[in-house]
Structures are given as structure tokens and as C-alpha cells.
Amino acid sequence: MGVEEVARETLGRIRARGTYRRMRVLEGALGPRMRVDGRDVLLFAGSNYLDLAHHPEVVEASVRAARDTGCAAGGSRLINGNLDGHEALEAELAEFLGVPAALAFGTGYMANVGVIPALVGPDDLLISDQLNHASIVDGARLSRAEVRVFPHGDLDALDGILSGAGPSHGRSHRSRRVLVMTDGVYSMDGDVAPVAELAALCCHHGAMFLLDDAHGIGTLGSGGRGSAEHSGCDGGSDVLVGTLGKSLGSFGAFVAGSSALRDLLVNVARSFIFSCALAPPQVEAARAALRVLRAEPWRRQALQENAARLRTRLSAAGVSTRPSTTHIVPVVIGDSAETMRVCEALLDRGFYAQGIRHPSVAEGTARLRITPMATHRPEEIDALADAVVELVEPSHVGVADRDPDRKAEPICRSAESSGPAA
């Protein structure tokens, strides 16, 4: 069977179940208003939460780096790509987060598939929240460790698994390593993990704790340090994974923690060793964005106020956004076709809020995933809410109030359904 036959067969199954995807075309500067598929719309479907991607200081830093240093690092960090800008960015991230060290990766996906196999392997145990991001799932597969999945946010279930985590039955020269992994802010539901309680359980049982806070860094906490600071246990994880491409308006990701962790990753993380380093314009954009983030806390406050305004207005009209408490605001419709109908109708009205379907979310929980920005105006938030109510309310009042039985993503899926969970 050739490539064309494989593509037709697989895509035919995807179309038959109503989950065929296509890429939309966006034009203009990334911000609260853009042109999407030829229409001028308000953008409520991105992760540029603080509107820093086109901030003048961020753009100027990137332009200056391109002019002075070039548009590429020219190699991997272990050969010729370790520029002084990389070291400066990592030091600044570590200082901001209050940890000894950080290491930049090409993407958040690369960070997770690099750090997880670096910490555990065969004979070890990984414990993962059932709604963790696809990159955590794939990092777990690559590690070849035993994987146990606990119901979303269920601390008692996690405690039970940790209590029964026995010694390794393989190599007798060391005890079994145990790694607990969780998102900080869940990318499809907008709820925050109980980070303080998770950290305490891991400490009690002697397990390592990995926190992927891609959507929390910059948006939560009094200083913008994310879901751990928001939960009152700043620095509570052993491993913190974050991104440069969301709140920080650039591109790339990082792993933060101890100096020993950084040294370990430099030596064994394949997605770091065998990848070209971040380009200087990306690095300097992230450094500038970090400075703006610290100097302008109003952005973080405005983001959460906009999200709260949206949730309140939708709730008052009978449209549930549970369990969101953050800037990720889901409106669960259930049926995939109906969800995409509403998504397209919103585009016609001048709003882009993307519909999300299986396999990014469980079957029967298709939803609008609405992400306001810090710079959306109150009247724009209200107009979006009114449009959602108009389109969803007539036949779907109360749909989002149901609590569907969300099942854990299997650790071994077919290639056909291994799309990203974002």
C-alpha cells in the first residue's frame, strides 16, 4: 500500500466520524483583532494571552537580534548553537521563577518528551492525571515506564496509587523511581490543578513532581509565576515545564528546576541534544516579553477580569463554562457537528472562537474553547457573550451543565488519533 492509499483510507475514517480538520489562514499582526479566512474578526482562539507578541519592545528586541546576530543559531547547543543570549534567557527565567536553573527547548512538546524519559525508564512508575496534555502522554510512552492514570484532580486516587507504589522488579541496584505529572492549567477546561496538595502528596511519598504550566506562567499568581504561586506553593514542583510561545509572545519552551536537572537534560534529553537551538530573534523576544510581563502586571489582571466577565455574562444567560476559573473558557456543546456549526456562525458574526472535537477532547464533549486577551475591551467581551448565547441557547441550554464521563486518554493510541490536545 502506497502513501496515497494510506492517506485516503485514514482520512476517509476521519471524515466519516466528523473530525476532519483544516488549517485556517490568519492575516495581520497577532492581536485582539485579526483577519481569519478572509473575514475581519475579534480573536478569541489564541494563546497570546497578554498581547505581547506584537508589543513594540518585544518586536524591537527581535528585530535588533536578527540584525545584530542573525536569524538562526546555526546548530545544536552542544556544537555551535549555545549563544550568550540562550544563557541569559535561561538565567532570567530561573531568577523570575525562583529556581536555580532553566534550559530552553524548541517547543513545549519537545520539553516534555525530553525531560520525562530523562527521569524515568523501564521498571519505574509514572502517574498521570487523566486530562494531561498529549505531550505528557507521549513523553510517558517514550520512557517505557509503567503508567498509572488517576481521575482528573482526584487526590485520594493519587494517594492510593502512591501508597501502593512498590520497589522495582527489574534492576535490583536501585529503588523504583516514581514521577507524578500534571498540567497546571488544563488547556481544554480552564481549571487549575490542586498544585499545593499534589506537591505535598509527592513529598510525603518520596515521588518526583512534574508540573507543566504552559498556560499558567505569566497569567496566574501575584507575580505571574503561574499555578504554583496561585495555589500558594511557589516552587513546589521538582520539574517545571513552561512555554515561551503563549504569555511570553515568542516561541520555544523551557524546563526549570535544580542545576542538577539542567545538567542531566543537557546530557541525556534527546529532544535537546539533537535539535537546533532557538533562533536569536525568538530568544530576545522572550527576554523582552519577560521584562514587560514583570513591569506591567495590569495585563495579567486585565486578562483574568476579561475572563471573569465572560464567564459571568454567559452564566447569567444559562450557558455553563464549568469548570473554568481562568482565561480558558469552555462552552461544552457535546455534538461535534453542532459545535463546528456554532464556530462558523460566530465567524460570520465577527468572532473567532475555535470549536474543539475528539481526539483533543473526549467523545461527546465537543466545545467552543474561548480565550480572551488582556487587551480585549469590555464591550467586545459582552458582544461575544451575546453572540454565543444567541447561537447556543435555543437548542442547547444546560448541555454544558452535564458532567460527561470523561475517560483517560490511553497511553497507546493509533497514529490516526494522536493529534495534539490543544
Look up the CATH number of the domain holding residue 239: 3.40.640.10
Please tell me whether residues 227 and 303 are part of one structural domain.
Answer: no
| 411 inside domain | no
Residue 45 buriedness (CB in 10 A; 0-12 / 13-18 / 19+): buried
| 409 inside domain | no
Residues 6 or more apart whose Cβ sits within 8 Å of residue 73: 80, 81, 83, 86, 276, 277, 278, 279, 280
CA angle 286, 43, 391 (to 5 degrees): 150
| 1 inside domain | no
Boundary of a domain, candidates 294, 315, 333 = 294
- Strand 146-150 to strand 125-129: parallel, antiparallel, or no bridges (unpaired)? parallel
Residues 6 or more apart whose Cβ sits within 8 Å of residue 75: 81, 276, 277
Active-site residue, 407 included: no
Please tell me whether residues 281 and 330 are part of one structural domain.
Answer: no
For the domain that residue 364 is a member of, what is the CATH number? 3.90.1150.10
Residue 422 pLDDT = 35
| Catalytic entry in 246, 327, 376, 396 | 246
| Catalytic entry in 135, 143, 187, 250 | 187
User: What are the respective helix, strand and coil percentages of the chain, to the nearest 5?
Assistant: 40, 15, 45
Please tell me whether residues 98 and 173 are part of one structural domain.
Answer: yes
| 210 inside domain | yes
| 334 inside domain | yes
Q: How many domains, the chain?
A: 2
Please tell me whether residues 74 and 154 are part of one structural domain.
Answer: yes
State the first-to-last Cα distance of the chain, in angstroms, to the nearest integer.
32
| Residue among 280, 255, 271 nearest 78 (CA) | 271
Please tell me whether residues 235 and 126 are part of one structural domain.
Answer: yes
Please tell me whether residues 273 and 382 are part of one structural domain.
Answer: no
Residue numbers of the domain that contains 357: 17-46+297-401
d(CA 406, CA 362) in angstroms, rounded, equals 6
Residue 272 pLDDT = 98
Please tell me whether residues 282 and 358 are part of one structural domain.
Answer: no
pLDDT tens digits for range 300-343: 999 999 999 999 999 999 999 999 999 999 999 999 999 999 99
d(CA 364, CA 358) in angstroms, rounded, equals 8
Low-confidence ranges of the chain (pLDDT < 70): 166-175, 393-422
111: left (phi > 0), else alpha (psi -120 to 50), else beta? alpha
| Catalytic entry in 215, 230, 376, 396 | 215
319: left (phi > 0), else alpha (psi -120 to 50), else beta? beta
Please tell me whether residues 285 and 303 are part of one structural domain.
Answer: no
| 11 inside domain | no
Please tell me whether residues 119 and 245 are part of one structural domain.
Answer: yes
| Residue among 360, 406, 363, 411 nearest 128 (CA) | 411
Please tell me whether residues 301 and 179 are part of one structural domain.
Answer: no
For 300, the enclosing helix (H) or strand (E) is helix 298-316
Please tell me whether residues 93 and 27 are part of one structural domain.
Answer: no
Please tell me whether residue 93 adopts helix, strand or coil conformation.
helix
Q: What is the pTM of this model?
A: 0.90
Active-site residue, 376 included: no
| 72 inside domain | yes
Please tell me whether residues 140 and 251 are part of one structural domain.
Answer: yes
Beta bridge partners of 43: 352
| 10 inside domain | no
